[in-house]
Amino acid sequence: MFSISREKNSISALNRLTSKDIKEIHKKEKRRSGGKLHEELTSLDVPECCNKSDVFIHKRSATDNKLYTTYSLIRFLCLNDTPGCLQPNRDERLMQVALSMKYNSGCISRKVGAAICDKGGNVLGVGWNDVPVGNVPCSYRSIDNLHKKRGNKAYSEYERSDEFIHHIIKSNKKRYSKVKHEPFCFKQYYQKLKSKSDCKCSKKIKKAEFTRALHAEENAFFQALRRENDLSGCVLYTTDKTCNLCAKKAYQLGISRIVYIEDFPDDAILQTIRTGNRKIKVDQFSGIVGSAYLKLFSTPFPEKDILIHRE
């Protein structure tokens, strides 16, 4: 009786929600960094939960019907019941490679992995977002070492300037003792510094342009081009949706298809990919990756032994 009453009360409460209430709930559910601490800790952060999933079921196009969703669910249930009964498809194999690459990244903001394969599904190049060879990743640099000018090769000439050091210390004045040994993100402080200046171009500064790292797709392109002179018809797998900078490179190199996991608001697809006389197919990944990939596609024992014991 109690559960029925509670259910009725819940339905009644939901029916009283206005459009404004719904928008506020949605805003809280997708809250990212930058909000108040208590909001960060109590937010469901639905987008981030989705991005950390291991099983993705997406309609590949507007023409996909319920049969594809049904097939995907049945396939997952079969693997869950009998791990190893089915093999991963090409998208799953190659996205697993891209996903594995991202853990090499020394970026403290976002780790991204990428892989490029030819028409036959052979991997030509892999990459992750990281600083150019000869530079030190952000995860190994600290504000205190910069301030005391220890390990100067780890910091650029600009970072060692009095202007930047003064800005980064001033920005952490109240909590310097707590954060001085922690790694810091250059682009974060650079943007704040320039936004306070009188420079007319300060409003035009973009994050992607002033990051220290090369993007995962860029590193994958470079590696693939060392092996192949022509990447026309190749497929790019990336854990994050491709930005405008990398989308232009993919278009120029003749990439025929882009597959990604994490989605975020950006005009790279509409502006850079869907233009001109070439068409690049763009798909949000659908399938199994991550820890689920290892659990569902591997058998606890060799299949032959299982079949023998069944007899």
Rounded distance, CA 149 to CA 86, Å? Answer: 56
What's the predicted TM-score (pTM) here? 0.81
Average pLDDT of the residues in 176-181: 88
pLDDT for 202 equals 44
pLDDT for 276 equals 85
pLDDT for 11 equals 67
* Tokens coding 131: 């600083």
pLDDT at 152 over 90: no
More confident residue, 211 or 30: 211
What are the pLDDT digits (tens) for 261-278?
Answer: 988 777 788 888 888 888
Closest CA to 251 of 290, 280, 230, 223: 280
* Tokens coding 243: 């930005």
pLDDT at 4 over 50: no
* Tokens coding 207: 């994050």
pLDDT for 3 equals 45
Across the chain, mean pLDDT equals 84
pLDDT at 70 over 90: no
Average pLDDT of the residues in 103-107: 94
Rounded distance, CA 143 to CA 165, Å? Answer: 9
The answer to whether 32 and 45 have CB atoms below 8 angstroms apart is yes
